[in-house]
Structure 1
Amino acid sequence: MVRDIGEKGGRYMKSKIKYTDEPMGKLRAVKDFLPPPEQLVLKEENVKVTIALNKSSIEFFKREAQRYHTSYQKMIRRLIDLYASQHKKSA
């Protein structure tokens, strides 16, 4: 038996995937290595600030954010967090 999954026309789905009921061979169970859901939803406390940045810097982050389908504020926040964590270690 063959099942068709997917359809042409979607942004990421270019062709149908065909699954068959063939033997899968020798299988083995692996230990669960993912963290539990409650560890995935931890949110750090954020503090709102007002900051003046160069227009060209903001344009850069907006372009890159659009390219990677995220918000430019998240990218700037992540950059500052990485910078701070790097310098905490050396201080």
Structure 2
Amino acid sequence: MSSILQSTEIENKLEDLSGVVIKPGENPYNALIEACDGEPAKIQKLYAVHRVKRNAQQKAKFLAPDYTGLIIDQHLLRLENPQIEPGFGQ
């Protein structure tokens, strides 16, 4: 059985909030490493900035009066619960 599932990326756009400028198609992790000259302490600090901003952003979205609910990734849902579509991903 083959499924045609829609990507949730359009509705749930991932954005970098660390301040690193990511070029279209660029691996965001490589951009982060390069921006920090490969230094682990700098990477941790910059990613912590991203994480704190992202958590605040998501909290605001969850608590907004117009919040409509979670966007469930259908691919991950089927991998997590094989009963939905037996054989999916194999």
TM-score, normalised by the number of residues in structure 1? 0.26
For the pair shown, the structure with the greater C-alpha radius of gyration is 1
More strand per residue? 1
- RCO greater where, 1 or 2, for CA within 8 Å and sep 6 or more? 2
Normalization by structure 2: what TM-score?
0.26
